[in-house]
Amino acid sequence: MMNLKPIFLVSALMLSACNFLSAKAKIPIGEREALTKVYDLPNTEEYKLNNGNYLDLATLHKEFNIAYILPLYVIEEPKLVGYDEKTDEFYNIPDKEMDAILASQKLKKDDLNKLPFYTRYGGKLVALLLIAFMIWGVIPSKKKRVEPTKI
C-alpha cells in the first residue's frame, strides 16, 4: 500500500507557499504623486541648496495608476517645482522666482510643464486593449460544421 504522508506534506507545503506568495505580491492600485525631472540647471552657486546639492527643475502631478507603470488618468495637472535629485525632494518655488529662473535659462514654462503622451493617454489605451482582449477571449467562437462525405 502506498504511503500518503509525503503527498499530504508536499500538498500542505505548496498550499502554504501559494498563500505566502499571494500575500506578498500585491499590486499597488491608487493615487500617487509623480515627480519627473525636466531640466538640469547648471551647477553654480546660484542654484546650490543648503545641503550642498544643486537645484533642478521637475514637474509634479498626481495620477491614478496601476502598479506604478499604467497611469489611467491625471488627477492634478503638472506644476513646475524645484528638485533635488540626490535626496529626491521637491521644493515649491514662488511664481516670480520661477519666472526669473526660466528667463535666465531662456526657457518657456509651457514647454517644460507638459506630460508625456504615455502618461496622458497611453495608460488608457493599454487598459482598453487589455479589456478588449478579455472580452474577445470570453466570446465563444462558432464551430464549423463538418459534414461527412462518402468516397
Residue 11 within any structural domain of the chain? no
Please state the pTM of the whole predicted model: 0.69
Beta strands in the chain (DSSP E): 29-39, 56-66, 70-84, 89-91
Task: State the residue range of the domain holding 76.
Answer: 27-135
Distance CA 37, CA 79 (A): 12
Residue 2 within any structural domain of the chain? no
Please count the structural domains in the chain: 1
Angle (nearest 5°) at CA 104 between 91 and 77 = 45
What is the per-residue pLDDT across 38-62, written as a single tens digit (0 to 9) for each?
A: 999 999 899 899 988 999 999 999 9
Residue 106 within any structural domain of the chain? yes
Sign of CA dihedral 26, 29, 86, 121: positive
What is the per-residue pLDDT across 66-110, written as a single tens digit (0 to 9) for each?
A: 888 889 889 999 999 999 989 989 999 999 999 999 999 999 988
Residue 71 within any structural domain of the chain? yes
